[in-house]
Amino acid sequence: MSRPTQAHINLDALRFNYQLACNLAPQSQTVAVVKANAYGHGAVECAKALEPLAPALGVACIEEALQLRQAGLNKPILLLEGIFSADEVEIAARENFWLMVENTFQADAICQAKPSAPLRCWIKIDTGMHRLGLVPEQFNSVYQQLQTSANVHSPLLAASHFACADELKNATTEQQLQVFNTTIQGLDCPTSIANSAGILGWPQARSNWNRPGIMLYGSSPFEHSHAEGDKLKAVMTLRSAVISVRHVKAGDSVGYGANWNADKPSTIATVAAGYGDGYPRVIANGTPVLVNGQSCPLAGRVSMDMISVDVSHLNSVKIGDPVELWGENLPVNEIAGHANTLGYELLTRMPARPTRIYSDLN
Q: Tell me the CB-side half-sphere exposure of residue 331, using CA atoms within 13 A.
A: 21
Residue 49 CA to residue 158 CA, distance in Å, equals: 28
Q: Which is nearer to ligand PLP, 161 or 301 (CB)?
A: 161
Q: Which is nearer to ligand PLP, 101 or 271 (CB)?
A: 101
Q: Quick check: 82 binds ligand PLP (CB under 6 A)? A: no
Question: What is the secondary structure of 321-348 as a DSSP string?
Answer: -EEEEEBTTB-HHHHHHHTTS-HHHHHH
| Least CB distance to ligand PLP at residue 190 (A) | 15
State the binding string over 197-216 for ligand PLP (x if CB under 6 A, else -).
x-------------xxxxx-
Nearest to 242 by CA among 206, 192, 292, 188: 292
Q: Which is nearer to ligand PLP, 33 or 93 (CB)?
A: 33
Is the Cα torsion angle 318, 321, 327, 329 positive or negative in sign? negative
Q: What is the dihedral of CA 54, 55, 57, 58, to 10 degrees?
A: -120
Q: Which of 30, 106, 196, 333 binds ligand PLP (CB under 6 A)?
A: 196
Q: Which is nearer to ligand PLP, 133 or 354 (CB)?
A: 133
Q: Quick check: 280 binds ligand PLP (CB under 6 A)? A: no
Q: Quick check: 21 binds ligand PLP (CB under 6 A)? A: no
Q: Which of 24, 80, 157, 232 binds ligand PLP (CB under 6 A)?
A: 80
Catalytic residue IDs: 35, 256
Q: Which of 41, 120, 161, 301 binds ligand PLP (CB under 6 A)?
A: 161
State the binding string over 226-265 for ligand PLP (x if CB under 6 A, else -).
----------------------------------------
Nearest to 246 by CA among 298, 187, 309: 309
What are the beta bridge partners of residue 324?
A: 239, 290
Q: Which is nearer to ligand PLP, 33 or 283 (CB)?
A: 33
| Least CB distance to ligand PLP at residue 68 (A) | 16
| Least CB distance to ligand PLP at residue 59 (A) | 9
Q: Is residue 35 within 8 Å of residue 188, measured between CB atoms?
A: no
Residue 170 Cα to chain centre, angstroms: 22
Q: Is residue 20 within 8 Å of residue 215, measured between CB atoms?
A: yes
Q: Quick check: 37 binds ligand PLP (CB under 6 A)? A: no
| Least CB distance to ligand PLP at residue 334 (A) | 18
Q: Which of 10, 28, 37, 195 binds ligand PLP (CB under 6 A)?
A: 195
Residue 237 CA to residue 142 CA, distance in Å, equals: 45
Q: Which is nearer to ligand PLP, 196 or 270 (CB)?
A: 196
Q: Which is nearer to ligand PLP, 12 or 345 (CB)?
A: 345
Strand locations in the chain (E): 6-10, 29-30, 32-33, 57-59, 77-79, 97-101, 119-124, 152-159, 191-192, 209-210, 236-248, 253-254, 260-261, 266-271, 288-291, 294-297, 307-310, 322-326, 355-359
Q: Is residue 18 within 8 Å of residue 214, measured between CB atoms?
A: no
Q: How many CB atoms lie within 10 A of CB 310?
A: 23
Q: Quick check: 221 binds ligand PLP (CB under 6 A)? A: yes
Q: Which residue is nearest to ligand PLP (CB)?
A: 213
Residues numbered 287-346 forming contacts with ligand PLP, rule: CB under 6 A? none
Q: Quick check: 77 binds ligand PLP (CB under 6 A)? A: no
Helices within 195-246 (DSSP H only):
196-201
What are the beta bridge partners of residue 307?
A: 271
Query: Number of residues in contact with ligand PLP, rule: CB under 6 A?
Result: 13
Residues lying near ligand PLP in the complex (CB under 6 A) are found at 33, 35, 80, 161, 195-197, 211-215, 221
